[in-house]
Amino acid sequence: MSEVRKQRSQQKRFSIRNMHSESQIWNSFQAAGSQPATSYFRPELKSKAVESKKETSCQRTAAGFTLMEVLVAIAILAIVVTTILASFNAVFSTTEVLDESADIYEMAKNCMKRMMLDIESIHIEQRPIYKPPEFDQPPDPYRLIATTKDIGGTGFAQIRFASRAHVRLEKSPRAGIAEIVYYVQAKEEGLPVLKRADNLYPYPEFEERGRDPVLSKYVKSLAFKFYDKEGLEFDVWDSDSDEFGYATPTAIAVKLELAGKTTSHTFETMVSLPISREKAE
């Protein structure tokens, strides 16, 4: 019996020493960053080491992001959002400018078209029917007069003539030669507006009226140029004046400048008169 007990005790001590030596070798392999062959050790030691490594990894994941990582993520997000908002703002601003420019071009096109039609339909009395007015006589009802009107320190052109292009704004059967006046009217707020007065004979004394239609808004400047038979240029004209020989121009140039929010737009045209009266000899 004593022999058997001694043998069992020796086997037990050998087994314990083996376990300690295997554990030490395993730890040395882990410290060196290598993986020992699984055939050298017992499976239970390997499974315990793997489970311990998984627990450590899970603990690191559960710990979350550091403060520095959160700050970097916020900074990147802020840069991306700022870039997107800036792009949207640029797109909307460009769209607004394009819409405004389109409105101004459409308004100027209609205004110039109306002016050209009126001037091309101008009515001028020819000699010998036309006679220069005497001192005590009324002026020629079909005279052409162009002057300059000051509004806020800026000079705006004003023109008056007779034309067959009468526009019936009211339900009236009347037609005939109308007195046309293009003039700029000041506004309490904003830029002046360009208006068109249209009256049939007998022509009333001209005065600015609220019912006259607005041809164009945002008027920054309006100018006319008049050319006589010799091609000389004038800023004003009076066909009832001896200064111009009681004649009418042969061509009229129009220059209209409209102001937008960001830039101004200039429109120009020239119309040759279908008829004209030459200077008196």
Residue 91 forms part of a structural domain: no
Q: Any idea which of 5-9, 84-88, 124-128 has the lowest mean pLDDT?
A: 5-9
- The verdict on 152 and 203 lying in the same domain is yes
Q: What tokens appear for 14 in the block?
A: 């050998």
User: Average pLDDT, stretch 66-75?
Assistant: 88
pLDDT > 60? residue 135: yes
Q: Which pLDDT tens digit goes with each residue over 158-173?
A: 999 999 999 977 666 7
- The verdict on 123 and 199 lying in the same domain is yes
- The verdict on 256 and 152 lying in the same domain is yes
SS3 27: helix
Contact 133, 240 (CB under 8 A): yes
pLDDT > 70? residue 75: yes
Domain holding 33, by residue range, is 2-62
- The verdict on 23 and 145 lying in the same domain is no
Residue 248 forms part of a structural domain: yes
pLDDT > 80? residue 148: yes
CA angle (31, 36, 18) in 5-degree steps:
90
> pLDDT band at residue 96, thresholds of 50, 70 and 90?
low
- The verdict on 152 and 218 lying in the same domain is yes
pLDDT computed for residue 85 by the predictor: 80
Q: Which pLDDT tens digit goes with each residue over 235-276?
A: 999 999 999 999 999 999 999 999 987 888 999 999 999 999
pLDDT > 80? residue 233: yes
CA distance between the termini of the chain: 165
Residue 87 forms part of a structural domain: no
SS3 112: helix
Q: What tokens appear for 69 in the block?
A: 């990582």
Instruction: Please tell me the pTM assigned to this model.
Output: 0.67
pLDDT > 50? residue 61: yes
SS3 247: coil
Residue 96 forms part of a structural domain: no
Q: What tokens appear for 52 in the block?
A: 């311990």
- When divided into structural domains, the chain yields a total of 2
